Structure 1
Amino acid sequence: MRVLLALGGNAMTNAEGRARPEDQIAAAATAARAVAELVQDGHEVVITHGNGPQVGNLLVKNELAAAVVPPVPLDWCGAQTQATLGFVLMNALEAEFAMRGVQRRTATVVTRTLVAWDDPGFVHPTKPIGRYLAADEAAVLIEHGETWEDRGVKGWRRVVASPEPLEIVDAPAVVALIGAGFLVIANGGGGVPVVVDADGALHGVEAVIDKDLGAALLAQRVGADVLVIATDVPHVVEGYDTPDPRPLHHVRQRRLRELADRGEFAAGSMGPKVEAVLRFTAATGSHAAICALSDIVEAVDGTAGTVVAADDESTAVEI
């Protein structure tokens, strides 16, 4: 099968969430072991990943240097972290392949994702990013054109647009590399957001695309047979943070949509992951899974995590 594997941001940090270079290299080595096992089992793997901690580090550098040099635009931060994490993952994968005697080349595509210039998010930015700052520190960044909001006792925090991903601009390059035998890493952080200007040219914008929704769209464009979103919990849970939590193991698309529509899944955590697998199953008729990083191999086979089947698929048991 062709597997689109989406590694959550936690997959590129240590257990405490630290994102020092050595932490990220160690985390990539852990992910590479699962990927190599999938490849040895005969699967074709395409990887995408989160980049929140890494972009956060760049934003801190922006803040500290804002009085000296202009801040690096957010789209540049996305492109930089795609390249850096791709480099780290390629090294980890190729080391694991060499140890196992697997002949497979890797490639990273710095990937652009098309969004609409008139997306409502650009009018009213709501996605908080980065750390809280004092009013005088935020004022320096506001002078550079950034949007910051007063969040009370915690201080000021930057907010940006989180527009809907419409198309993976560089999907043809990803598909071509897959066809040439490469294991491809692409569309990190949901992709670098770009818009089409009046002359038909693309240019980057200050925004953050949801990485899970970007993964669902990439999975469709590369013809994935299954989408696996690896995160820091083993299952999607109905009734989370209640006296009666119920892990979901195998579930039909329509049942999961009902749960999502009634607000079972938090917008800032599990909600986008659930929406991503629902979009993928609806568009392709194939199954998807949300699982812990340690359960990737089993999730591909449908034996671990929360496995979501299309309503007409016969392989899943509804709960």
Structure 2
Amino acid sequence: MRIVVALGGNALLRRGEALTADNQRANIRRAAKALAELVKAGHALVITHGNGPQVGLLALQAAAGPADGAYPLDVLGAESEGMIGYMIEQELHALLQERLFATLLTQVRVAADDPAFKQPTKPIGPVYDEATAARLKQERGWHIARDGSGWRRVVSSPRPLAILEIAVIDLLARQDVIVICTGGGGIPVVERQDGSLIGIEAVIDKDFASALLARQLEADMLLLLTDVDAVYTDFGTPHQRPIASAGPDELQAMMFPAGSMRPKVEAAIEFARAVRRPAAIGALADALAITRRERGTWIEGSA
């Protein structure tokens, strides 16, 4: 199968870990082992990944420098996409030395008038305690929102409309190249009246961008990997229950809290409805078992 595999933040950094190169490398090495199992089982992979902690750290570093040296989020997103893609490619090559790889900086077109620009919701950067978050909000004019037990900076997250490098990605994938692309949801750009492109201050949700990529590539499956082994009803309560499989309409009717799982569920539903092919959500370590319907949650590919 041609599978678009979206690596969640846990593939790069576990909650509470310091954002160091060594920690990221160790986590990516674990992710590469799970991805290599999929390749050895005969699947053709196009890999995407998150970048929330990384792009937030780059923004902090830029803010600490000269006032005229700060870079906008689209440029920082490109930096993080290259950095993370490089590490994924290198760790995969160590396990699959006979294969070819390509990491692509990927522009994703969004609408300049997307309502998301008026209501920032996408968390980036480290988690802060309430007092620190309040101070940073005052000092830097950030939007701040609760994220789990802590607080994080939030930025605009417009919906992706088109993967602009799709023809190149498809060409490479058809030549049996393992492509790493659309990192962090891709680099957000808008189209000017003359047809030229310009970056915009935002971070695109990785799951929605991955679902769009999978649709445009006509992938056989969208696989969203995270640190939870399945989608649950009543998650975090004594009544929680894993969902082994569900149709898009059935899943749409369920309520999921805002945060990491809701975008994954919505993205999976979008893909399954659009192409009538399955999407699945589950733990990184279970990747191969999920493709065999032995683990995780399957969203059936029917309207």
Displacement after TM superposition at 1:198 (Å): 1.8
Which digits, 9 at most, give the CA deviation of each residue in 1:81-108, with x for residues without a partner? 110111101110110113xxxx210001
Matched, 1:26 2:44: no
Displacement after TM superposition at 1:19 (Å): 2.7
Aligned to 2:44: 44
Aligned to 1:76: 75
Retained in 2: the 8 A contact 1:12–1:19? no
Displacement after TM superposition at 1:158 (Å): 4.6
Q: What residue identity is the alignment partner of 2:278?
A: H
Matched, 1:308 2:303: no
Retained in 2: the 8 A contact 1:10–1:17? no
In the alignment, the residues of structure 2 paired with residue 68 and residue 173 of structure 1 have an alpha-carbon distance, to the nearest angstrom, of 37
Q: What residue identity is the alignment partner of 2:202?
A: A
Retained in 1: the 8 A contact 2:120–2:143? no
Retained in 1: the 8 A contact 2:53–2:124? no
Taking the TM superposition and a 5 Å limit, the aligned residue runs for 1:40-119 are 40-65=40-65, 67-98=66-97, 103-119=98-114
Retained in 1: the 8 A contact 2:49–2:183? yes
In the alignment, the residues of structure 2 paired with residue 14 and residue 95 of structure 1 have an alpha-carbon distance, to the nearest angstrom, of 23
Other structure's SS at 2:201 match? coil
The counterpart of 1:121, out of the listed 106, 116, 124, is 116
In the alignment, the residues of structure 2 paired with residue 180 and residue 49 of structure 1 have an alpha-carbon distance, to the nearest angstrom, of 22
Taking the TM superposition and a 5 Å limit, the aligned residue runs for 1:165-314 are 165-259=160-254, 264-311=255-302
What CA RMSD, in Å, does the superposition of the two structures yield over aligned residues?
Answer: 2.4
Identity %: 43
In the alignment, the residues of structure 1 paired with residue 10 and residue 193 of structure 2 have an alpha-carbon distance, to the nearest angstrom, of 39
Displacement after TM superposition at 1:139 (Å): 6.1
Retained in 1: the 8 A contact 2:207–2:267? yes
In the alignment, the residues of structure 2 paired with residue 121 and residue 14 of structure 1 have an alpha-carbon distance, to the nearest angstrom, of 27
Other structure's SS at 2:238 match? coil
In the alignment, the residues of structure 2 paired with residue 167 and residue 134 of structure 1 have an alpha-carbon distance, to the nearest angstrom, of 34
Q: What residue identity is the alignment partner of 1:275?
A: E
Other structure's SS at 2:6 match? strand
| Bigger radius of gyration | 1
Q: 5+ residue gaps in structure 2?
A: none
In the alignment, the residues of structure 1 paired with residue 115 and residue 60 of structure 2 have an alpha-carbon distance, to the nearest angstrom, of 27
In the alignment, the residues of structure 1 paired with residue 248 and residue 83 of structure 2 have an alpha-carbon distance, to the nearest angstrom, of 36
Q: What residue identity is the alignment partner of 1:87?
A: Y
In the alignment, the residues of structure 2 paired with residue 34 and residue 199 of structure 1 have an alpha-carbon distance, to the nearest angstrom, of 44
Q: What residue identity is the alignment partner of 2:47?
A: I
Aligned to 1:160: 155
Displacement after TM superposition at 1:136 (Å): 7.3
In the alignment, the residues of structure 2 paired with residue 150 and residue 297 of structure 1 have an alpha-carbon distance, to the nearest angstrom, of 35
In the alignment, the residues of structure 1 paired with residue 281 and residue 152 of structure 2 have an alpha-carbon distance, to the nearest angstrom, of 30
Retained in 2: the 8 A contact 1:254–1:311? no
Q: 5+ residue gaps in structure 1?
A: 313-319
In the alignment, the residues of structure 1 paired with residue 264 and residue 238 of structure 2 have an alpha-carbon distance, to the nearest angstrom, of 23
Cα gap change, 1:127 to 1:288, in 2 (>3 Å):
closer
In the alignment, the residues of structure 2 paired with residue 311 and residue 256 of structure 1 have an alpha-carbon distance, to the nearest angstrom, of 12
Retained in 2: the 8 A contact 1:3–1:300? no
Other structure's SS at 1:116 match? coil
Retained in 2: the 8 A contact 1:216–1:280? yes
Other structure's SS at 1:107 match? strand
In the alignment, the residues of structure 2 paired with residue 159 and residue 28 of structure 1 have an alpha-carbon distance, to the nearest angstrom, of 25
In the alignment, the residues of structure 1 paired with residue 45 and residue 201 of structure 2 have an alpha-carbon distance, to the nearest angstrom, of 30
Under a length normalisation based on structure 2, what TM-score does the superposition of the two structures give? 0.90
In the alignment, the residues of structure 1 paired with residue 145 and residue 47 of structure 2 have an alpha-carbon distance, to the nearest angstrom, of 37
Q: What residue identity is the alignment partner of 1:184?
A: V
